[in-house]
Amino acid sequence: MKKLLFAFLLIYAGNIYAQKFEGLALTPPMGWNSWNTFAVNINEDLVMGIADKMVSSGMKDAGYNYLVLDDAWMAKERDNQGNLVTDPKKFPHGIKAVADYVHAKGLKFGLYNCAGTKTCAGYPGTRGYEYQDARQYAAWGVDYLKFDWCNTEGINAKEAYTTMSKAIKAAGRPMIFSLCEWGSNKPWEWAAPVGQLWRTTSDITNLFSGVKKINNWEPFSVMRIIELQNAIRKYAGPDHWNDPDMLEVGNGMTRNEDRAHFSMWCMLAAPLIAGNDLRKMTPQTTEILTNKEVIAVDQDSLGVEGYKYAEKDSVETWIKPLKGGLAICFLNRSLKPQAIEFKWADNPLHDDLSGMTVNFNTTAYKVRDVWTKKDIGKTTKTFKQEVPAHDVVMLRLYK
């Protein structure tokens, strides 16, 4: 009887604290977002063109299914009933028509708003209108809500995001809820019942390493973001993901840097949200973003975030446990090529988080290079290779 009572209390407590729609992101969400390339310069034709290209470029076939419209889609003021109003010049047929077009392509549609009184670009925020806005999004057919954190002075993050999560649930339409409060309030500690993903850092920029200043603000480079992920990997898993921000692949970094950036996001089990102009992709950008073998590492059903295992001569070795094997990524952070030599027998692996234990002395694995898409031997032989500057060698090991 006591056991039954305890079980009932656990279920009851779970129902109280689990606000979000469950099961929408058992693997990290994949899609495209307008902000990194277009910022506030968005319109109806752009969205439709991107939807077309998501299909024709192979992005949809590779798993990218959410098209998310970021800030500045709305008019500067709500109407006299407090409803959000679509900008009539940018979207003359309204958001519902745009969402319908995206859905007709076999894709899902996402929108942006903010937990504060105004969005980051100065448009109407959601504070005080959570349930009203959620009903509006549901009526428009929204499948994904990105919720930012500007103009939030005096607002409690956990309370604000929990309220919006409950509003989405009450509206009745399943939506992925993306918390974008930049990691300021450690959402990884409390947001698992609230949303499917949460930002862990400030905004990314198209810089591999170093510092870029924009007025008095410093967005984060790819490497700086990676440095901040290792300590919080235990909080990520199916339906609740650490989000190191959107991808900058195709936005001005070198091919090597794009490949390293994409590889590491996959090693981190990160949401893969492209941020480039899909209509102008080069073949090499398309090749990187649609590499299904690399994407499979990110989308592995075990849902375990990778970790940094070792570092030598500016080359970091990262390990990601996978269902039925593991991935290993050698990341060269230096400006010159680096030769690596990895003696499998000297590197037994154990990960407390996933329970993975690998002894290469007793178990031999096949080794596959997921960028060249070639099997290159077994772990019975020492792995030797040169890693180009600002690039990776990424391997998948399987029995």
Among candidate residues 247, 255, 253, 254, the one with its CA nearest the CA of residue 275: 247
Closest C-alpha among 196, 192, 131, 125 to residue 155: 125
Neighbours of 338 (CB within 10 A): 18
Residues 375 and 283 in one domain: no
Q: Evaluate whether residue 159 is within a structural domain.
A: yes
Q: Kindly state whether residues 56 and 121 are assigned to the same domain.
A: yes
The total of structural domains in the chain comes to 2
State yes or no: pLDDT of 334 exceeds 70.
yes
Domain boundary among 298, 332, 350: 298
Query: What pLDDT is attached to residue 4?
Result: 37
Is 257 part of a structural domain of the chain?
A: yes
Mean pLDDT of 103-117: 98
Q: Which of 371, 334, 374 is nearest to 259 (CA)?
A: 371
Residue 90 belongs to a domain with what CATH number? 3.20.20.70
pLDDT, tens only, 278-296: 999 999 999 999 999 999 9
DSSP 113-143: EESSSB-TTSSB--TT-HHHHHHHHHHHT--
pLDDT one-digit tens code per residue, 137-180: 999 999 999 999 999 999 999 999 999 999 999 999 999 999 99
Q: Is the pLDDT of residue 10 over 90?
A: no
- Dihedral in degrees, nearest 10, Cα atoms 162, 167, 168, 173: 150
> What mean pLDDT do residues 182-196 have?
97
Asked whether residue 361 falls in the same domain as residue 271, the answer is no
For residue 13, being part of any structural domain is answered with no
pLDDT value at position 99?
A: 98
Is the same domain home to 329 and 293?
A: no
Same domain, 268 and 389: no
Co-location of 279 and 384 in the same domain:
no
CA dihedral 350, 354, 360, 366 (to 10 degrees): -150
Give the predicted TM-score (pTM) of the model. 0.94
**78-106 residue pLDDT tens:** 999 999 999 999 999 999 999 999 999 99
Strand duo 374-378 + 366-369: pairing: antiparallel
Residue type, 151: N
- Domain holding 386, by residue range, is 307-398
Q: What does the pLDDT look like over 50-87, one tens digit per residue?
A: 999 999 999 999 999 999 999 999 999 999 999 999 99
Are 283 and 321 in a shared domain? no
Answer with the one of 248, 277, 298 that is the final residue of a domain.
298
| Structure tokens given for 250 | 């195709």
Q: What confidence score (pLDDT) does residue 19 get?
A: 87
Q: Which residues are catalytic?
A: 148, 203
Rounded to whole angstroms, the Cα distance separating 44 from 334 reads 42
- Within a domain: 14: no
Q: In angstroms, how far is the first alpha carbon of the chain from the final one?
A: 46
pLDDT digits (tens, 9 = 90+) for 198-220: 999 999 999 999 988 888 889 99
The residue among 298, 331, 346 that closes a domain is 298
User: Would you say residue 3 lies in a domain?
Assistant: no
Residues 135 and 266 in one domain: yes
What confidence category does residue 12 fall into, taking pLDDT thresholds of 50, 70 and 90? very low
Q: Is the same domain home to 53 and 122?
A: yes
Q: Which two tokens stand for residue 370?
A: 């997921």
Same domain assignment for residues 172 and 245: yes
Q: In this predicted structure, what is the pLDDT of residue 16?
A: 45
Residues 6+ apart with CB under 8 A from 343: 382
Whether 154 and 75 map to the same domain: the answer is yes
Q: What mean pLDDT value characterizes the chain?
A: 95
